[in-house]
Structures are given as structure tokens and as C-alpha cells.
Structure 1
Amino acid sequence: MKRIRIIDTTLRDGMHAVSHQLTPEQVALIASRLDEAGVGTIEVGHGDGLGGSSMQYGFAKATDREYLKAVSQAIKQTRLDVLLIPGIGTIEDLKVAMEYGAKTVRVATHVTEADVGEQHIGFAKKNGLEAIGFLMMSHMASPEKVAEQAKLFESYGADIIYVADSAGAMLPEDVKARVSAVRSAVSLPVGFHAHNNLGLAIGNNLAAIEAGATVLDGTVRGLGGGAGNAQLEVLVAVLNRMGYETGIDLYKVMDLSEEVVAPLMQRPQIINREALAIGYAGAYSSFLLHAYRAAEKFGVDARDVLIELGRRKTVGGQEDLIIDVAIELANKKARTA
């Protein structure tokens, strides 16, 4: 039977949907249930990765160390994974994660900037970690450019290359073109990370598989930035129907979704008008809650903020521009009133 590896990012990307406010105890409970369900790898931490808890990205309920400690004590078989965005997280942060048993690190860069992750990949490999090169906002570059950057990650020693649709803006043909280009360019497994802003997270994962991807991301209840990620329990069910082996107990992740995660959610993980605007404009999915707050503060439409951010091709790390855009739109609105 064909096998697909699934990395669960409920406790990292899913943190965006709850403003990074899960407690270590809640995180540990979810991690233990994922472990019991047979999920092989789980990613843990602030939504923006190691070092992300800050004024700019939003303060988390607890520190990286507190979350990692809680999860490390809760899991028995699951592999602990962390995300590191150079410029936000550091090698020192990664050393802390290693103290608590992290075995995988995903080094995430903008799709045209794989070179900024060279030292982090090198450090990970030198210390025996699985290193994944994670190309964010892949819709913003041509398939050829994505492949070029994937080859850089391969040259640095990465074990897997990820095409990440951080904006949930790709159509299935976009996914196929980029995953196929990367598969042809490198001799490594290729992964895909989806967001559901256009309602295509599951479909785009299937397109990625068709193009040769063997590693996929999912989150329980679909928690994640924007309209969320591919919903883990749905993804497992669909892959089971297609004859793929994931090693995950479908009923157990369904129960986790209903009994534990759903009661913790601050809002339904749906494609509302603002989340749809993110996918339509190609804006960064984690901008959603920031855009809500800025729009309310300055009396403008959050959709207009997100559309303008997409037009400007903003990327993660430019959260400060959200306020700037909201102020500009408010001033424009005042002039035309």
C-alpha cells in the first residue's frame, strides 16, 4: 500500500486561530491524543515558529520552553518538530527545542530566499536533526524559481523540500506545476502545506500527491491562519478512501477534534469574507487576525486591508505594514467622505 507521511501542525499553525493562547496543559493534552492516534510527527510552538512570541507577532500564553516541555512529557512515540523562520527564530532557540527532544526542524523562508536558511539547515544536520526546507508563499514565484530555491535547500543538506501555499491562493494546476518542478529538480521527498482560503486545501493536497508529493500537512479541525489548514481528519479519511496508508487512526483524530479541539476554538474555522479575501489576493494567511484588529481600530473594511496587502506582495514578517495600510485606507476614506 502506498504511504503518505502526515505532519500535524495543529499546535503551531493552529495557534494562529486561537491567538497563540493555548496553555501548556491544553497543548499537552492535544499532543498526547495525537500520539495515541498514531500521528508520526507533530509541530509545536508559536504560530510564527520559535521566537515568535513578541509584540509584532503576538504574545503567546507560554514560552517556547514551557510548550516544548509539556509536549515532550506527553508524547511516547510521536516525533517532535519545530518551525524556525530565520530572522524570528535563532539557532539558540533551536538548541532549546533540542533540549526537549525535538528531532525535526522546518527552516521556513520566503520562496525566493532559501539562502537565509543555509546555516540553520547546516546546524540541524550537524546535530542529527531531520531538516526540512520550507518555501513559504510559493504562489509568488514561478515553478522554475521554486525549483531553483529547492535545489539550494538540497545543497545545504535538507532531507525534505516543502512547497507551502501560505496564502491559500493556489489552484490545483498551480500546485501541480510547482511540486512537479521541485520533484524534477531534487532527489529528495517533496512535501506540501495547504491553506483553505479558497476552499481547496484537500483538493490541492491531492494535486500535490499526483505531482509526486509524499509528505503533507494537516491540522485537527482545520485550525490555522486564515481559513485554516487542510483538516487532518478529513485528509486522513480521503487518503484512506484512495488506498493510501498514513498510520493514523481516523476515529481517534475525529474524537480529538470533537471532544478536545472544538471547545477550545475562539471562532469557527470557516471561509468567511476576510479569509476568502486572503486567498483571492494572495496575502499571508496569518495576517487575518492582525487585519481584523487594524480594521476595527481605524474604521475600515478588513477585506480592503487584505487586498491591498496582497497587491503589495507583503510577506510574513511585515505585520507592521498592516497598520500602515489601515491608516492609509482610513485617510483615503476621510478625504472622499
Structure 2
Amino acid sequence: MSKILIHDVTLRDGNHAISHKMTAHQIAVYASAANAAGIPTVEVGHGNGIGASSLQVGESAIDDEAMLREAKKNLTRSKLAVHVIPGFATINKDLKKALDLGVDVVRVAAHCTEADLTQRHINFVRDRGKEVYGVLMMSHMASKETLVEEAQKMESYGAEGVIIFDSAGAYVPDEVSERISLLAGSLNIPVGFHAHNNLGLAIANSIAAAQAGATIIDGSARGFGAGAGNAQIEAVVAVLEKLGYSTGIDLYKILDASEIAETDLMKEIPRIRSLSIISGLSGVFSAFSKPVERISKEYNVDPRDVFFELGRRQVVAGQEDMIIEVASELSAKRGGQKP
């Protein structure tokens, strides 16, 4: 029976869905439930990872230290994980403190063509004797051959696995299968997949990834995450077990954890909205949905046009200022003015 490691991103990607306002109580309640279910790793932090709280991408309700301390107290079986984007997270200030607070697993992420940026962070974590993985975000923006080249760099830096993110929810299953199959056949370390549900394919894509050789699959309770959300962790576990994979997770207890997430963490359950579909089709980062909608209204332009133009310009996370630029240009072209 093939083993799949399930990585829970509810307490990190879910922060995107509530403008990074997750509280210590919410973290404690869900971490305890996830721990009881036997989820191997639980990721905690600002939606963009540790060190990312800012006016530009959103300020957290509580700081990284408070989040990690609260999670660590409630994770006695599960490993505590963090997401790290060099540029947001520094080694000396953010990463060192996270490891000192008891973080077990670090995922170092970069845009899918910029793996070079992860070398120092990966090296640092390996030197500290902790688990470290590489993450290639917005992976639909690179060819499968380029993804292999970038993943091999991460492997050479010491990454113990590489996860590709469908950050815009842009993939269909065949595309996932092609990429994962080539990666799994080209690397000597595990391969993982992180789905978003903008086109309604998060579960299908996650299963396609597992069948193509991925041994790490991400999910979140009720799909709690950016845009239309992630793959629902409870559904991923159920379907994988049905197909004969082993996750080591207690089904009843992960269902219980998802109920807790729905009542205690979410303002609303993620769903596929019109703009979610446009985000997936245009290949734009899922977390752009709220600012695109708000700024488009300010400039009296169609948010769908804004998304497609952002996609044409290949805008990525961290370039939120481009939303205003695009909306302003579209407004000027149609002779419109801000209301």
C-alpha cells in the first residue's frame, strides 16, 4: 500500500481567506483537533508565511511568535511547519526565531523560475538539523522541463522534497500528471502537490498528482484557503484511502476537525465564485481576488478585465501594486474616471 504524507495548510493558507486575522484561540482549537486526527504536519502562519505581515500584503492579527507558540502547545503528535518566502522572511530575524520556537518542518518557497533564491534558507535549515522542503509557486507559469531544472536546484541545496503549487488553481488533471510524473522520475527526493480550487478541480488534481507519483499532498479543512480555497483535506483523505493509499489519518477525527474549522475559523466556506473561475483561467494568484474586486470597483472597471490583464503581464504574489496600475490604465482607456 502506497503511503501519502498529508500536509495541512488550514492555519496558513486559510489566513488568506480572513485577511490574515486568525487569532490565538482559533489556532489552538484547530491545531488540537488536527493533532487528534493524526495529521502528520500542520502549517501555521500568515498567508504568505512567516515574516510576511505588512501593509502591502496584509497585517496579521497576532505576530508569528504568538501563532507558533500557540500551535506548538497543541501539537504533540503532529509536526509544526512553516512556509517561508525569502524576501518576506529573513534568516536571522524570522527563520532562526521560528526554529528556536520549535518548528519541525520548513518549506522554502520561490516563484517557479527562481529557485536560486531559496539556497541560503534551505542550507540554514539543514544546518540546524530540521526538515526542509522546496516549494515552486505559480508552477503553471513554467514548462515541465523548467520545473525539473528548478526542482533539481532545490535538491542540490539540500531540500528533502519539492512541492509544486497550483497557486492560481489553473491546472487540469492531465497537466498535473505530466508535471508530477516527470518530476518524480527526475528527482531523488519526494515530490508533492498543493492545489487550489478555482476551476473546481482541486480534489481531481490532487488525486492525479498522487497517481503520477506525488507522495506529499496538501489540503485544508473545508478547503479553507485563498481564492476558491484548497483541496478539502477531509475529502482528499477519504478518496485516497478509497483508492488504496495509506495516510495514517483517522477519518472520523479529520471530519471532526473540519467541522471545528467551519464553525470556529471561517466567516464562510470557500466556494467557486465567478472571479475564482476567471482567476484560474487567467493564471493569477488566488489571493488577488479580494483586492482585484475592491480596486476594480474604485476605478469603475470590470474585475474580469483586470484579472486577464494581470495574467497577460504574468503578475505574481508580491506585485499587488500592479492591480492599481492595471485598473487605472483600463479606466483611462475607456474614458472612465474613479467614482
2:282–2:307 Cα contact (<8 Å) kept: yes
Q: Give me the whole-angstrom Cα distance separating, in 1, the residues matched to 2:209 and 2:5.
A: 13
Q: Give me the whole-angstrom Cα distance separating, in 1, the residues matched to 2:336 and 2:47.
A: 37
- In structure 1, the partner of 2:5 is 5
Q: Give me the whole-angstrom Cα distance separating, in 1, the residues matched to 2:95 and 2:65.
A: 10
Amino acid at match of 2:49: G
- In structure 2, the partner of 1:144 is 145
Cα deviation for residue 293 of structure 1 reads: 2.0
- In structure 2, the partner of 1:101 is 102
SS at match of 2:136: strand
- In structure 1, the partner of 2:189 is 188
Cα deviation for residue 263 of structure 1 reads: 4.7
Answer with 160-169 or 265-274: which moved more: 265-274
- In structure 2, the partner of 1:158 is 159
Distance 1:284 1:260, change over 3 A: closer
- In structure 2, the partner of 1:265 is 266
Deviations 1:309-335 (A, max 9, x none): 111111111111112112222222335
Cα deviation for residue 260 of structure 1 reads: 3.8
1:113–1:149 Cα contact (<8 Å) kept: yes
Deviations 1:267-306 (A, max 9, x none): 3301100111110110011111221221232222222222
Give the unaligned 5+ runs of structure 2: none
- In structure 1, the partner of 2:280 is 279
- In structure 2, the partner of 1:76 is 76
SS at match of 2:10: strand
1:133–1:153 Cα contact (<8 Å) kept: yes
Answer with 124-133 or 246-255: which moved more: 246-255
2:115–2:136 Cα contact (<8 Å) kept: yes
Confirm or deny that 1:131 pairs with 2:132.
yes
SS at match of 2:193: strand
% same residue? 49
- In structure 1, the partner of 2:50 is 50
SS at match of 1:244: coil
Answer with 65-74 or 319-328: which moved more: 319-328
Amino acid at match of 1:10: T
TM-score by length of 2: 0.96
Confirm or deny that 1:314 pairs with 2:315.
yes
Confirm or deny that 1:175 pairs with 2:180.
no
Cα deviation for residue 30 of structure 1 reads: 0.6
Confirm or deny that 1:30 pairs with 2:30.
yes
Deviations 1:206-241 (A, max 9, x none): 111121100000000101111110001111111111
SS at match of 2:148: helix
Q: Which runs of 4+ in 1 moved over 6 A?
A: none
- In structure 2, the partner of 1:230 is 231
Q: Give me the whole-angstrom Cα distance separating, in 1, the residues matched to 2:82 and 2:23.
A: 17
Q: How many residues align?
A: 337
Amino acid at match of 2:266: M
Cα deviation for residue 82 of structure 1 reads: 0.4
Amino acid at match of 1:275: S
Q: Give me the whole-angstrom Cα distance separating, in 2, the residues matched to 1:122 and 1:159.
A: 11
- In structure 2, the partner of 1:256 is 257
Amino acid at match of 2:39: V
Distance 1:155 1:167, change over 3 A: same
Amino acid at match of 2:297: E
Cα deviation for residue 197 of structure 1 reads: 0.6
2:15–2:225 Cα contact (<8 Å) kept: yes
1:219–1:232 Cα contact (<8 Å) kept: yes
2:262–2:269 Cα contact (<8 Å) kept: no
Q: Map 1:115-130 onto structure 2 (within 5 A).
A: 115-130=116-131
Distance 1:333 1:265, change over 3 A: farther
2:300–2:336 Cα contact (<8 Å) kept: no
Deviations 1:74-103 (A, max 9, x none): 111110100111111111201111122101
- In structure 1, the partner of 2:199 is 198
Confirm or deny that 1:86 pairs with 2:86.
yes
1:30–1:261 Cα contact (<8 Å) kept: no
- In structure 1, the partner of 2:216 is 215
Cα deviation for residue 173 of structure 1 reads: 1.4
Answer with 320-329 or 124-133: which moved more: 320-329
Amino acid at match of 2:242: R
1:283–1:309 Cα contact (<8 Å) kept: yes
SS at match of 2:334: helix
Amino acid at match of 1:70: E
Give the unaligned 5+ runs of structure 1: none
Q: CA RMSD in A?
A: 1.5
- In structure 2, the partner of 1:40 is 40
Deviations 1:141-186 (A, max 9, x none): 1110000001100100100011111111011111111112211221
Amino acid at match of 1:118: Q
Amino acid at match of 1:3: K
Amino acid at match of 1:302: P
